[in-house]
Amino acid sequence: MQYDLPPPKILEIRKYPDAILKQSCLHVSEINLDIKTLIQNMFLTMYSSGGVGLSANQVGRLERVFVMDTSASGSRRRAFINPEIIRKSNIDKCKEGCLSFPDIFAFVKRPTNIKIRAQDEDGNTFELDLEGIDAICFQHELDHLNGITFYDHLSPLQKQMMKKKMSKLGK
């Protein structure tokens, strides 16, 4: 079904410790005008904030939807609806940032090779093999949909250091 989308708009990105970041998002049963508009607005919001990924709960919505664009890796702009990981391997530590934690970065241990399944904006189910930054970004955004932030992956010492950084930055 074709939709005439309204003009895109930049959404407010929820910052830690906003409670919505700890909530699990709900399965999308119908990809309608509302979901397509959400995706369009999420891309605009992500690009305007300099991010490579953005999840629905980061903009105050509880649908299992995220967008990412890791073009620097040769990948492309994609929306993921009802995403899941079906296989993972090769764990490594990678430096991550998050639009909900502005100007904060930390090393997180994650699989660097994954196979995923999701739906696209037209409701088609697809599978992809992702590696490197694409795999890391996908897992980071999927965590958001499950109410988990990269902060939750950190050791107590790393969390303490991050809290100090956030207080210095006035977050």
Active site residues: 141
Long-range (24+ apart) CB contacts under 8 A made by 128-133 are: 132/73, 133/52, 133/70, 133/72, 133/73, 133/75, 133/94
SS3 1: coil
Taken as a whole, the chain contains a residue count of 171
Token couple for 103: 């100007």
